[in-house]
Structure 1
């Protein structure tokens, strides 16, 4: 067995470096995923709006965007914004399979490398028409879809269970703050050239892929300079946190899973959240420009503001829920239902009020930001419910859930595009907000009746095999001092 250094290498744990690398992957993934919602404002010619501010429309200040080159209708824009997700939902399961076969580092790196290359080719694809450009976005989505499943495998090998809560908060914050950075930078870059947005974000994905190939290692056992102390800490905690790692599982009970009401209750909650978040992510820059009349740079900056609050609130709600449960104030299931209700009812109320506040730009931005804050109450609700229902098949159930939830990224831009095509009016945009707010209410009611935290029968196994001692890491008798590392 390879001898490891007895001392810890430097003052920063290696697992923290690996986590920062994974967080960087989330950043570049969100860059190539979200920037088009801002860049497309600079790419297309503005559609004239009609009416006035009495609820039927807002007259556009300019008839045409000086930088716009393409006469794409709102319906076509909706299709182009959703094209990414056609590819994204097709490679989720493939990414997990490739990760198990070749290791997460190679799959993550290759996925983001190809995503960066296809992003760089985006401006060239526009020369051949909207559908060629859509094909390039589908390829970007398919490449990016290879990141998330290997990333979860990568994190699970490097982060011990006792640090999962902090890790989850960190990764969720990366998702929100990367959206903020993407929207602001896309708005600034679009003032110079919309092509520059593609080049900068595509290049960032390629740079990260190179860093991943250089710095990442699939597991602690493969890291050449990881100290013995940290190695034993990671592997000991992982062993204690999962005593059933080597159990032979029954075949996947597909029928039982797909007919499980608690599974569908959670899938529907995830889908409603996806509809709300993708509506805001994809459509806010266009709404800010065509209805509130912000310029392109301000449109990106203002559209990103709700995600600043989102990044700050997601960890707060998760830890508040955990604290209430640990103190015995509310039960596990009650916490899920209460925080799901805060999300569903709070976010819906904000979305319903946005059309009422059309004359007040500040109030509109405040309502949209508050809607995101309410949405993040879901982090304290049933966001990890699939682990309760069946930890043995959580990869399968989560994959099913994510596939359905990410189809919302296909649906929302096309719904908004259909409703506002040639009708950039307050009245038509009000329908977009009413739909986004409404979907969460019936899904919450469904969860109230069918949501559960109990292990499902389909998850239970037969006789367990005795773990092979040769495959287990024997923990040290003395608890590692790294256990007390608190600034993580």
Structure 2
């Protein structure tokens, strides 16, 4: 019987009081994902001001079930109405085309990060996507096709963000801190949304929709500068980390084993793609993303066109659910690691509990939000509950990747994120087709029921197939030793 050695997870000793290097990485990861979502979701608010909605409002007035005006008409006067005559299908394409590029770069980005380091891959990608954001207004005025093409390219560069950060934790996160550290950087998504939407609404009202892209693109460039200054690929490469923290991380993860410089690592692609545990994570993430992207892209539109809030109010109210999501993401990570350390339940049990909460509760309250009709208070409350509990997925299937394959966390996440982000372009386009003829509450009910069904299917499959056991193909690198070459 092999002796099990437990690393001193809770016995790290560090002199003085300073911010540990792995927490600096978590904070920069949080800020990075914050910027990713600011650059991703800025269009969800901007499009309300970009599109000429006069025709849509006239059609809406003929619908008997459209809610009373709460200031939306202020947005649609001749001075402020948008200049782009895009129908709902085109709007769905614009909102979803980002993900055509996004899904392409996940796996290549994770693979490249293992070869040249996550610092260069994500930093370079963020720089490029920030520049693209800055020129987006000019592209929109130039042509619809160019605007779509830039959004696709923008998504391509941003697709590396989550896989590279997941891969980074394979070298930086002690096992019993994984959930919290992953939750910190993932929570940047909801925080980015809850800040960007109300701010974008105010910017659009005060400075015009173009300023939204200038502001978010500039913030992305600022983050890139700090990323290259502060972050390093491994504890051994970090010039400012304490020796005690370096030793603690390396021993906890098992990074002290020396490798032959002539050894070539072969990635177990077949095992990854045929793993039932990976399949369960992919399905759960797909379900989560379907509902998330439906609301991420369309909630400001629902607030504006159905509940009839003006643009600034629409952005602010749409952001409220994401404030709660941010809180629950962090709280879920903290509580989950406490539960695991105290062994109150098994790791696989807590992952399944969290994932079920993150899918079943949003399904219920998303449907309820549609059936409260014009009761704006109840609708906002139900949307808030639905979106907030999605944040618990970070402590469930998202972190589960590091349970089953810590050394290949970035690549496995890349595979999962590629497939599970198909809803990024499918969901907005489905909504666009459903709302093409009428923008009514009945049509939105169909939108919410579809999302709820996908949520529940994902929860059931993950409950049946999910695992937290480190997979045999992930326990060590598959190596091929090459003979040394003498010149």
Matched, 1:42 2:49: yes
- Secondary structure, counterpart of 2:86 in structure 1: coil
Distance 1:309 1:333 in 2: 25
Distance 1:156 1:254 in 2: 18
Aligned to 1:136: 150
Aligned to 1:345: 360
Distance 1:208 1:455 in 2: 34
Q: Is contact 1:58-1:425 (8 Å) kept?
A: no
Deviation at 1:317, TM superposition (A): 2.7
Are the structure 2 counterparts of residues 426 and 86 from structure 1 closer, same or farther at C-alpha, using a change threshold of 3 Å?
same
Aligned to 2:110: 96
Distance 1:463 1:406 in 2: 29
Are the structure 2 counterparts of residues 106 and 372 from structure 1 closer, same or farther at C-alpha, using a change threshold of 3 Å?
same
Deviation at 1:231, TM superposition (A): 3.1
Count of residues paired in the alignment: 455
Match of 1:236 among 248, 252, 260: 248
Distance 1:445 1:309 in 2: 25
Matched, 1:405 2:420: yes
Q: Which moved more, 1:397-406 or 1:193-202?
A: 397-406
Distance 1:157 1:362 in 2: 46
Q: Is contact 1:73-1:422 (8 Å) kept?
A: no
Aligned to 2:222: 207
- Secondary structure, counterpart of 1:91 in structure 2: helix
Aligned to 1:110: 124
Distance 2:156 2:113 in 1: 15
Can you list the C-alpha shifts for 1:250-276, whole angstroms capped at 9, x where unaligned?
844434433333321221011000111
Distance 1:381 1:458 in 2: 22
Q: Is contact 1:53-1:359 (8 Å) kept?
A: no
Q: Is contact 1:344-1:441 (8 Å) kept?
A: yes
Distance 1:190 1:415 in 2: 27
Q: Is contact 2:186-2:394 (8 Å) kept?
A: no
Deviation at 1:174, TM superposition (A): 1.9
Deviation at 1:204, TM superposition (A): 1.3
Match of 2:212 among 166, 187, 197: 197
Deviation at 1:11, TM superposition (A): 4.2
Are the structure 2 counterparts of residues 267 and 462 from structure 1 closer, same or farther at C-alpha, using a change threshold of 3 Å?
closer
Deviation at 1:9, TM superposition (A): 9.4
Q: Is contact 1:160-1:234 (8 Å) kept?
A: no
Aligned to 1:170: 184
Root-mean-square deviation (Å): 3.0
Are the structure 2 counterparts of residues 394 and 244 from structure 1 closer, same or farther at C-alpha, using a change threshold of 3 Å?
farther
Aligned to 1:267: 282
Distance 1:249 1:446 in 2: 36
Match of 1:84 among 85, 89, 98: 98
How do residues 427-442 of structure 1 correspond to structure 2 at under 5 angstroms? 427-442=442-457
How do residues 403-482 of structure 1 correspond to structure 2 at under 5 angstroms? 403-459=418-474
TM-score norm. by structure 2 comes to 0.84
Are the structure 2 counterparts of residues 40 and 215 from structure 1 closer, same or farther at C-alpha, using a change threshold of 3 Å?
same
Deviation at 1:136, TM superposition (A): 1.1
Q: Is contact 2:291-2:452 (8 Å) kept?
A: yes
Q: Which moved more, 1:174-183 or 1:19-28?
A: 19-28
- For structure 1, list consecutive stretches of 5 or more residues without a partner in the other structure: 1-6, 466-488
Deviation at 1:161, TM superposition (A): 4.8
Deviation at 1:190, TM superposition (A): 0.7
Q: Is contact 2:98-2:155 (8 Å) kept?
A: yes
Distance 2:116 2:381 in 1: 46
Can you list the C-alpha shifts for 1:310-336, whole angstroms capped at 9, x where unaligned?
011123233434444555543333333
- Secondary structure, counterpart of 1:121 in structure 2: helix
Distance 1:143 1:168 in 2: 21
Q: Is contact 1:249-1:392 (8 Å) kept?
A: no
Are the structure 2 counterparts of residues 322 and 417 from structure 1 closer, same or farther at C-alpha, using a change threshold of 3 Å?
same
Aligned to 2:300: 285
Can you list the C-alpha shifts for 1:400-438, whole angstroms capped at 9, x where unaligned?
111111221111111111111241111111111111111
Deviation at 1:459, TM superposition (A): 4.1
Q: Which moved more, 1:185-194 or 1:257-266?
A: 257-266
Q: Is contact 1:112-1:206 (8 Å) kept?
A: yes
- Secondary structure, counterpart of 1:90 in structure 2: helix
- For structure 2, list consecutive stretches of 5 or more residues without a partner in the other structure: 1-13, 481-487
